[in-house]
Amino acid sequence: MHRAVLTGCGAMAKGWLRAIGERPDLAGQVQVVGLVDIDGAKAKALADEFALSDARIGSDLGAMLADVKPDVVFDVVVPPARSGVVAAALEAGAHVLSEKPMAASMDEARRMIELAKRHGRTHAVIQNRRFVSGMRRIRRFLDGAPLGAITAVHCDFFLAPHFGGFREEMDHVLLLDMAIHTFDAMRFVVGRMPQAVYCVETNPTGSWYADGAAANAIFEFGEGVVGTYRGSWCADGAPTSWESAWRIVGAKGTLLWDGHDGFEARVTSGSDGFFRETASLVVPEVEDATETQGHASVIRDFLRAIDGGTAPETVATDNIASLAMVFGAIESAGTGRRVAIEI
């Protein structure tokens, strides 16, 4: 049984507690022994809502760590508070699972990696949107290389949500708060490290966000593999899925995914004619349902890795590459130039 302290008792923390509470295999491995929020009343309210009557409640993470000595810390704080929380938890000897984005800057992210290494602890990041059925189906389908070598991925993300709160006030809102999911999923699909990016970021006329509600980015992944992202959080009228709508192009054919349940895969089957004939392929279902439960899947993978002494799929040393795509895109948008992505 892992003894966990959860810090940051806001909206997303409820999602974490539901993910654990609703899955007997997780509930049987994790005991939430402490809840921390700088607003202690929020920690108390969360404990009441989820009937965590045995959990300690606090507003000071340092004191809680010293008091209950958890072996894992769940970090669900707002991004500016993340580096302090991760450092305190690692220094207290806990493994840490953080919400996305991993850090508020590349330097912070590098320091976290150094600290985890120094203390011999695992630090991983929630990238729940690679643990959904569609992404896993794509990954499994591509493993057999039916499309030949992948040459391009194109992702469209167009929604118009009115969140209120911090998102409508923050800088680079789409790139920092949302696009990281699609960028991370792009890496998952192409299986390569990003090398460079060119991005145009705008806050379109009519936007109800303060900054950066739309972005168009072109990523280079090496050996001619390109990823494009067109996204907007203030594009009303024709919504895509939260997972984006995907076009994956390979040397032998194309896979389309609408971000919901719609897949279409076709590969070249003919050898003559102006347009060659193509044949349809089936994209198989996922075999292991435990891989498609979003937060629950990431938490499960994290705990399994700690127990087995292996690296979780979203370990910080890898996830920093997704963060680097975001900060590379922001730098490119700011300078108007193609930016080499440094990890």
Binding residues for ligand NAD, rule: CB under 6 A, are 7-13, 36-39, 42, 61, 76-79, 81, 84-85, 99-100, 126, 128, 177
Q: Which is nearer to ligand NAD, 11 or 145 (CB)?
A: 11
Q: How far apart are CA 171 and CA 86, in angstroms?
A: 23
Task: Compute the least distance from the CB of residue 58 to ligand NAD, in Å.
Answer: 9
Asked whether the beta carbons of 257 and 245 are under 8 A apart, the reply is: yes
Residue labelled with tokens 């507003």: 59
At residue 41, the 3 state secondary structure works out as: helix
Rounded to the nearest whole angstrom, what is the least distance from the CB of residue 185 to ligand NAD in the complex?
12
* Three-state DSSP state, 129: helix
Q: By beta-carbon distance, which residue lies closest to ligand NAD?
A: 10
Strand spans (E) along the chain: 2-7, 30-36, 56-58, 72-75, 95-98, 123-125, 150-158, 196-202, 214-220, 226-232, 245-250, 253-257, 263-268, 278-281, 339-340
Contact 283, 138 (CB under 8 A): yes
Give how far Cα 328 sits from Cα of 45, 127, 151, 215, Å. Answer: 39, 19, 21, 13
Alpha carbon distance 337, 329 (integer Å): 10
Q: 3-class DSSP state for residue 258?
A: coil
State the nearest-atom distance from the C-beta of 158 to ligand NAD, in Å: 18
Residue 192 Cβ, how far from ligand NAD at the closest point, in Å? Answer: 23
Taking the complex as a whole, the smallest distance from the CB of residue 127 to ligand NAD amounts, in Å, to 7
> Rounded to the nearest whole angstrom, what is the least distance from the CB of residue 331 to ligand NAD in the complex?
20
Is the Cβ of residue 156 or residue 177 nearer to ligand NAD in the bound state? Answer: 177
Report the nearest approach of ligand NAD to the CB of residue 108 (Å).
13
Q: What are phi and psi of 6, to 5 degrees?
A: -105, 125
Q: What is the Cα–Cα distance from 26 to 12, expressed in whole angstroms?
A: 18
Query: Is the Cβ of residue 62 or residue 146 nearer to ligand NAD in the bound state?
Result: 62
- Indicate the residue among 213 and 281 with the shorter CB distance to ligand NAD: 213
Separation of alpha carbons 265 and 308, rounded Å: 37
Nearer to ligand NAD (CB atom), residue 9 or residue 190: 9
Residue with smaller CB distance to ligand NAD, 13 or 235 = 13
Bridge partners of 281? 265
Nearer to ligand NAD, 10 or 239 (CB): 10
Closest contact distance (angstroms) between CB of 113 and ligand NAD is: 18
Sheet of 214-220, strands arranged across: 278-281, 263-268, 253-257, 245-250, 150-158, 226-232, 214-220, 196-202, 339-340
The distance of closest approach from Cβ of residue 170 to ligand NAD in the complex, given in angstroms and rounded to an integer, is 10
Cβ closest to ligand NAD, residue 12 vs residue 193: 12
Q: Which is nearer to ligand NAD, 16 or 219 (CB)?
A: 16
